[in-house]
Structure 1
């Protein structure tokens, strides 16, 4: 199995969305930027790296789009795609790509050589490009509760947990979060502390997103997460396994998404994308004006493939 990743790279062109299509000299085709995973690389990191290498543009990842699969000289190949906003850079012809065009989505679709690339572009076009984003993290592995005699709130990460936290510190910035929130548990805070330090921001404690704070009033916990999304645009939220599946299940039901499973491994991430409310928003507004979940993608691990 050949694993690859890519992106629909987009930019705002005076209020309209343009996407990048690239011409590959070797194949004489027009495609979306993509390429094979390097050893020890995650799929999101590969998508961002390939964008830079093929287009010259630094990007910020957005929602997950879809996976395509096809045969290459008899071998099965899968390509996972993300939306990605161009934030800086410029195109310079390179060994792989000799031309790049910024085009409106409909025009780009007519230029792309392959049907599977057009399918990816159609999924990108199904929703607005500029969405709110919450990276909902379950805390990394901690020491066994049976072997911890002190307050469970203070139970620290294990050695394996610190490795997961380091991997998250590398992975989560691909989505360019601006704030870090955490349930008031040492293990929750330490899981994302490195991200907060890199951003030079203080972590915000979220009692309503801890297990004992959430279950007496799940609606209040849900509203708090929506408030984080609406006010900050892009945020990391570290919580617990007794909270995250309920939150994601409720949000998908409210958003009308088809999601039958809600896994929540330690150190995993749900990438949640929401519509933006019109105008100024507050929790006192009618629920019809709250952000709506439109995409939920689960990353079982921040650790790279062997």
Structure 2
């Protein structure tokens, strides 16, 4: 397997910006997951034994060139465990040194949906265990910390993929109705990347603010799913700001519906929605970036029983995890 490493100079620099010392280090990027499945009303975790290291760990591996971190997690799960999976919430990033280089591993929750284990060159054994037993078997403390984060919340959460529309050129250079401003060439590339990335979370519904640039950003996802896109006027800038509470409630309604949702909106809406939902849920987010073509992976608790907006807010879906993906494009 290939890997992606980012070279960064760690020595001082001269006045022209070049490295004054040749010493540099590599950051090795990797991804993995807590792979889970339901078992008799509870949850079991897959723990793998690596023959080369004689250790028990969570499945993970290095990025291939031209691969995104979420795609790497899904591929490595399949290669090491034999299971196809669907990604859930982001758990945490682990950092450590390998030789003289730094390595980071991004971990997601991931539900096993099909497959079976067959011993391979990397993994000679796999055990499905309850969370506590899996934690006791894991060799390394960072893996146990990742598993503890997984166990902090229910495995089966509601999920919304909140997308800012892709690049659409400058508003000042568009003479027609701004609602009709189309994606630029780079925007279409971002839309194609989202068409590959978003299915890793297995959405079943696609919603969009009624703007051409918002609709076209996720049109490919809707076509691949063979579903009609649902127009969401409350989640456009003009529809949201006259009544932000109504916009927030609408997003919660979308989250609570059956199946996961993709929602395409605008930069004037997304930061307010994410920050407000985080504050309501007691979730600390220091900043809410929102680049064009970016994605917020939002996970919510499931309301008990049938839920409606007439219920007490204490029974509404609560935001418990928010992870920002700045780009759907792979690293060069």
Q: Secondary structure at the match of 2:257?
A: helix
1:114 has 2:137 as partner: no
Deviations 1:24-48 (A, max 9, x none): 0111000000000000000000001
What is the number of residues matched between the two proteins?
306
Q: Distance in 2 between matches of 1:173 and 1:284?
A: 33
Q: Distance in 2 between matches of 1:175 and 1:298?
A: 14
1:97 has 2:123 as partner: yes
1:253 has 2:279 as partner: yes
Aligned to 2:8: none
Aligned to 1:52: 78
Q: Distance in 2 between matches of 1:78 and 1:180?
A: 32
1:181 has 2:244 as partner: no
1:147 to 173, 176, 191: 173
Q: Which runs of 5+ in 2 are unaligned?
A: 1-26
C-alpha contact (below 8 Å) 2:193/2:329 kept by paired residues: yes
Equivalent residues in 2 for 1:55-204 (5 A)?
55-204=81-230
Q: Distance in 2 between matches of 1:83 and 1:220?
A: 31
Question: Aligned-pair distance for 1:283?
Answer: 1.6
Question: Aligned-pair distance for 1:232?
Answer: 2.8
Aligned to 1:228: 254
C-alpha contact (below 8 Å) 2:205/2:229 kept by paired residues: yes
Question: Aligned-pair distance for 1:143?
Answer: 2.1
Q: Distance in 1 between matches of 2:204 and 2:310?
A: 24
Higher alpha-carbon Rg: 2
TM-score normalised to the size of structure 1? 0.99
Say which structure, 1 or 2, has more relative contact order (CA 8 Å, 6+ apart).
1
Deviations 1:133-169 (A, max 9, x none): 0000000000221121111000000000000000000
Deviations 1:163-188 (A, max 9, x none): 00000000000000010000000000
Q: Runs of 4+ in structure 1 displaced over 3 angstroms?
A: none
Q: Which runs of 5+ in 1 are unaligned?
A: none
Quote the RMSD (CA, aligned, Å): 0.6
